Amino acid sequence: METHEEKPIIYTMENKPIVTCAGDQNLFTALYGSLTQQLPREPMEWRRSYGRAPKMIYLEANFVQFKEELLPKEGNKALLTFPFLHIYWTDCCDTEVYKASVKEDMQRWQAVLRLHGSVDWLIVVVESDNKKKNKTNILPRTSIVDKIRNDFCNKQSDR
């Protein structure tokens, strides 16, 4: 008699929450494959309402390029229809480039989010060893991450 091992049933969602990506699209494209493979492997805590115990879930998401047209209009924030998280991607490690263009682009992005009442955003700074070696500043006063933190996260301690 053969014994059949029961395989666990894996439930997947047809409609996945939408996450927008702004900033350096080439950087995001380079990281997309590993991000979409690794994200569902990490458990996340879902804090449920009405005093029920939190539950650990595995999240998948649809990543789309940021466009203002995707943002919900006032009062309409359906989880599967509109983006719930907005990510700005950059690998800028040069202070002058940050001041000249990246900072202004981030400010425009945040202004659009604020206009639509979207408060769930994240800035991801990817640092590579190659770019660090090319820096001309021997003793930089602050890193790009520190500058971004001071420029965008100063008043929000949870960022």
Number of independent structural domains in the chain: 1
Asked if the structure places residue 30 within a domain, the reply is: yes
Q: What is the pLDDT of residues 6-21, one digit of tens each?
A: 555 444 556 778 889 9
Amino acid at 108: R
Asked if the structure places residue 135 within a domain, the reply is: yes
User: Domain of 105?
Assistant: 18-45+54-152
Identify which of 70, 64, 57, 69 has the alpha carbon closest to the alpha carbon of residue 12. 57
Q: What is the pLDDT of residues 41-62, one digit of tens each?
A: 888 887 777 778 888 888 788 8
DSSP string for 67-94? -GGGSPPTT---TTTSEEEEEEEE----
Asked if the structure places residue 10 within a domain, the reply is: no
Asked if the structure places residue 141 within a domain, the reply is: yes
Residues 6+ apart with CB under 8 A from 113: 71, 86, 119, 121
Asked if the structure places residue 24 within a domain, the reply is: yes
Q: 3-class DSSP state for residue 21? A: strand
Q: What is the pLDDT of residues 105-156, one digit of tens each?
A: 999 999 999 898 888 899 999 987 665 555 555 555 567 888 888 887 766 5
Asked if the structure places residue 5 within a domain, the reply is: no
How many Cβ atoms sit within 10 Å of the Cβ of residue 113?
21
Q: What pairing do the DSSP bridges indicate for beta strands 62-65 and 55-58?
A: unpaired
